[in-house]
């Protein structure tokens, strides 16, 4: 087995460059980096199994839904994916947003003065029995942080005045078989350029 040292390897004009043959395995030495493949690098994820409730009319951190990731290149993108199990009081209107460190990302444009800029909604309709039910909201967003420093991503939530948002459970929390406990999660995947 020999070693070939080259700075550039190109196929003949109009042809395809093939690495390996059928049944072969092509490997990269530990620590070697690739570019131009659009492959997934590191994956960081958190799962929240405990409950959380808030009636805050200002955005507040959703505890247990925060993670840190350090991109390997300034050209890397971070694919964020979240799903949140929630319940709430009757006629609940609540909202969630992605945060990159202290900056809100993936939020709607400015609208009327009382409208919330959010990544996605988490609402209960007006039915009385909705306080016994839980739902799911989910969102995916491709972020371009342009850094190789550690980044903290998290979820923040906010509620319209008079409502209560409950995470991983229904609003009614009595000991009955129609009530359940659930999980929520946040995942960050580095997409290598």
pLDDT at position 180, please? 93
Question: Under DSSP, is residue 73 helix (H, G, I), strand (E, B) or coil?
Answer: coil
Positive/negative CA dihedral, 153, 116, 122, 56: positive
- C-alpha 125/C-alpha 89 separation (Å) is 10
pLDDT at position 109, please? 96
Residue 143 CB contacts under 8 Å (≥ 6 apart), including other chains = 77, 78, 79, 80, 98, 100, 105, 106, 153
For residue 49, how many other CB atoms are within 10 A of its CB? 11
List 189's β-bridge partners, or say none: 43, 79
Domain boundaries, the chain: 51-191
At the top level of CATH, the class of 51-191 is mainly beta
pLDDT at position 1, please? 64
Angle at 39 between CA 37 and CA 43, to 5 degrees: 160
Integer CA distances (angstroms), 11 to 2, 8, 18, 33, 47, in order? 21, 10, 9, 21, 46
**Please, where are the H alpha helices in the chain?**
none
pLDDT by residue, tens only, the chain of 193 residues? 677 777 777 777 767 777 777 767 666 666 666 555 568 889 999 999 999 999 999 999 999 999 999 999 999 999 999 999 999 998 889 999 999 999 999 999 999 998 999 999 998 766 677 888 899 999 999 999 999 999 999 999 999 988 999 999 999 988 998 889 999 999 999 999 8
């Amino acid at each position: 087995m020999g070693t070939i040292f080259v700075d550039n390897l190109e196929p003949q004009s109009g042809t395809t460059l093939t690495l390996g043959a059928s049944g072969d395995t092509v490997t990269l030495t530990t620590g070697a980096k690739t570019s131009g493949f659009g492959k997934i690098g590191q994956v960081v994820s958190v799962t929240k199994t405990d409950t959380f409730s808030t009636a805050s009319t200002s955005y507040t951190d959703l505890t247990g839904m925060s993670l840190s990731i350090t991109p390997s290149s300034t050209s890397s993108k971070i694919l964020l994916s979240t799903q949140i199990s929630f319940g709430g009081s009757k006629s609940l209107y609540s909202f969630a947003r992605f945060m990159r460190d202290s900056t809100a990302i993936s939020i709607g444009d400015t609208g009327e003065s009382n409208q919330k800029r959010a990544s996605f909604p988490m609402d209960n309709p007006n039915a009385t029995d909705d306080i016994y039910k839980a739902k799911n909201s989910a969102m995916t967003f491709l972020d371009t942080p342009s850094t190789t420093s550690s980044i903290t991503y998290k979820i923040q939530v906010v509620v319209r005045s008079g409502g209560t948002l409950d995470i991983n459970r229904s609003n009614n929390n009595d000991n009955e078989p129609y009530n359940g406990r659930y999980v929520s999660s946040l995942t960050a995947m580095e997409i290598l350029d």
